[in-house]
Amino acid sequence: MGAIAEAAKIDFVISTGDNFYDDGLTGVDDPNFDHSFADIYTAPSLQKQWYNVLGNHDYRGNVEAQLSTALQEKDPRWLCMRSFILNTNLAEFFFVDTTPFSDKYFTDPEDHVYDWSGLIPDRATYLSNLMADLDSALRVSKARWKIVVGHHTIKSAGHHGNTVELEAQLLPILEAHGVDLYVNGHDHCLEHISSSRTKLQFLTSGAGSKAWKGDISSWDPKEMKFYYDGQGFMTLQISSDEVRVAYYGIEGEVLHQWSTSDLSVSQI
């Protein structure tokens, strides 16, 4: 990551959630913050702002700890919020808190305890407000490129597969406002699925730690552009003319490349 970031002269880094395994952070003094973040990403080229979303594993710990300014004081690179917007010169990034959408964490949590204390005043209202805010922000956005980032998959052939709640509630908003990319983690793989009906691309980058070998379901080859069941990461290079996507293995080898210029006229 350090070598690729240096060559690309990156501006910032995005984490797609599940920032701390297996059960988030216990508090702002949890040593896992150093063990899994501060002491890991030490390359000079990675000393940039990190924008982080929460994953389901993060919700198993103290959520407020990850959102706390105390962590920013420990490491100024760290920034984590539930849902927020990053507006750059060329692209607007819409970060979405996807974990509360998933019913199973509420109806069948198994042995896990989730920290839902921040879903104010209740889950239904929280999600309704989140979707209304996203819909409004996308509607007024003048950005050349609109990119939505969340932890959970919308479309995936990996272990978790499609997140049906996001398909039903979030996807229509993205399609209605011409979102270009949805970037997620959750499935421990690298993956690129292209929508068959819009220009929207589903990009999974969830292979930063453990990966799930051979855990893949069949998918329409016209939509499945790339799937890798090993470890790695991805980059986005954004200009006014195009967005270039690249996936890398752990040694920095290029596994897959794609550009918005590859879209057909009908998709655009």
Query: Percent of the chain beyond pLDDT 70?
Result: 98
Q: What is the mean pLDDT of residues 169-198?
A: 97
Instruction: Band the pLDDT of 33: cuts 50, 70, 90.
Output: very high
Q: Which residues contact 140 (CB under 8 A, 6 or more apart)?
A: none
Which positions make up the binding site?
18, 21, 56, 151, 186, 188
Token pair listed for 2: 């350090």
Q: Which residues contact 155 (CB under 8 A, 6 or more apart)?
A: 162, 167, 193, 195, 202, 223
Q: Which residues contact 188 (CB under 8 A, 6 or more apart)?
A: 158, 159, 206, 207, 209, 210, 211, 212
Bigger pLDDT: 264 vs 217: 217
List residues with catalytic annotation.
Answer: 160
Reported as half-sphere exposure (CB side, CA atoms, 13 A), residue 245 has a value of 25
Instruction: Band the pLDDT of 87: cuts 50, 70, 90.
Output: very high
pLDDT at 268: 56
The yes-or-no verdict on residue 226 having pLDDT over 90 is yes
Instruction: Band the pLDDT of 267: cuts 50, 70, 90.
Output: low
Task: Tell me, yes or no, if the pTM score tops 0.95.
Answer: yes
Q: Say how far apart CA 72 and CA 52 lie, in whole Å.
A: 12
Q: What is the mean pLDDT of residues 207-220?
A: 92
Each residue of 49-79: pLDDT tens digit? 999 999 999 999 999 999 999 999 999 999 9
* Amino acid letter, residue 170: L
Bigger pLDDT: 125 vs 264: 125
150 and 131 in contact (C-beta within 8 Å)? no
Which positions make up the binding site for Fe cation?
18, 21, 56, 151, 186, 188
